[in-house]
Amino acid sequence: MVGGVDLVVIGADGGPERSYGGSAMAAQGARLLAEVLPGMCFDTGAAGCRVTLLEPEADANRMLTALREAAGRGGRWLVVCLIGQLVTDPKGRRLALVTGGSTPDNAYRRGLAWDWVVSAMVHGDQEETLLLVDAVTDRDTWTALERGGGEDGVGELLSYSRVPLWGRVARHSGGRRGRTDVLPGGEGSFSRSLVRVLEHGVPGGPAAVGPLELQPAVLAQVEQAEAAAGPAPARVLVPPQGGRLLMRNRAAVRGALAGLSLSEELLAVLWRENAPTDPPSA
């Protein structure tokens, strides 16, 4: 599929450990992204997008193998989505996505290391890459992110990433009294809000929109949910120069059709062209 898009979607469920309850909705968000994103790719549509949706209970080795396989296929784009909870190593220098069966003693060792993901993307055969992140952290990991720590600090992984980042990382309160956190993949999360914006479009925007055009509408959805749940500290990630991945703007299609006299058959065809058609494959 020369010129196409390889989409790898990882929604990792950390399991029953209460410390990693921030990943409880990750699988739902992953399924939604895998269903919606392919049909929204402006240059290829669903037919030109190859989807790998990892099972939420997959271990880090399975996730990394799938990512490396996708990175080795070649093509125009490699888009990787990480949804769940992030933890840091004991020294506060590295990040990992919590995977199933983790405990506070082994979460980093069992997790999908951020460095592995970035390295696979950097050394892949695609022309362009994008890492979409919808994640939360515990208090200690959030403190490490905020502290920075120079070149060896975990905060540098987000501030000076080797691949373009798009998304949001927030602190998870762990169910503190008076708060109902917005969880990655859940209602009001970055991934769920992105899906909703793509489904409805950006009024007044061009037919093809990138992360920079989508970001205000997505964040508006997130902030509305946060206002109801209670505000949480968060870092918003935007690709350099606003990102190069272009998505279809359904609002522009509706605007172009407004006032035109078109048959019901033609309208049906036009809407089908703007809707996902291919189911994700594992």
Give 80-102 pLDDT, tens digit per residue.
999 999 999 988 889 999 999 89
Segment 136-162, tens digit of pLDDT? 999 999 999 988 655 667 888 999 999
Domains annotated on the chain, with CATH: 5-273 (3.40.50.1460)
Asked whether residue 279 carries a pLDDT value surpassing 50, the answer given is no
* Res 173 pLDDT > 90: no
Among residues of the chain, what percentage have pLDDT more than 90? 68
Asked if the model's pLDDT at residue 267 lies above 50, the reply is no
User: What's the CA gap between 147 and 242, in Å, rounded?
Assistant: 26
**Mean pLDDT in the chain?**
87
pLDDT score of 273 = 53
Q: Is 16 exposed, middle or buried (0-12, 13-18, 19+ CB in 10 A)?
A: exposed
Determine contact, residues 79/4, Cβ cutoff 8 Å: no
- What are the pLDDT digits (tens) for 6-52? 999 999 999 889 899 999 999 999 999 999 999 999 888 899 999 99
Q: Once rounded to an integer, what is the mean pLDDT over residues 93-120?
A: 95
Place of tokens 């200690």: 140
Measured from the Cβ of residue 189, the count of other Cβ atoms closer than 10 Å reads 30
* pLDDT for residue 276: 46
Give the pLDDT band (50/70/90) at residue 227: confident
Q: Which residues of 232-265 are buried (b: 16+ CB within 10 A; e: fewer)?
A: eebbebebeeebebbbbbbbbbeeeeeeeeeeee
Give the contacts of 167 (CB within 8 A, at least 6 positions apart): 131, 132, 133, 134, 135, 190, 191, 236, 237
Does 64 have pLDDT greater than 90?
yes
Report residue 219 as tokens: 């964040």
pLDDT above 70 as % of the chain: 84
In the DSSP assignment, the letter for residue 247 is: E
pLDDT tens for each residue of 241-253: 888 899 999 998 6
What does the block give as tokens for 61? 């080795």
Max distance between CA atoms of the chain, in angstroms, equals 65
Q: What is the rounded CA–CA span in Å between residue 142 and residue 275? A: 38
Q: Is the predicted pLDDT of residue 178 greater than 50, yes or no?
A: no
In angstroms, the CA 231 to CA 161 distance is 26
Taking 90 as the threshold, does the pLDDT of residue 108 lie above it?
yes
Instruction: Examine the pLDDT at 277 and tell me if it is beyond 50.
Output: no
Between 228 and 41, name the one with better pLDDT: 41
As a whole number, mean pLDDT of residues 230-242 equals 88
The phi, psi pair for 132, rounded to 5°, reads -95, 125
Q: What is the pLDDT of residue 278?
A: 47
Q: What is the mean pLDDT of residues 189-193?
A: 97
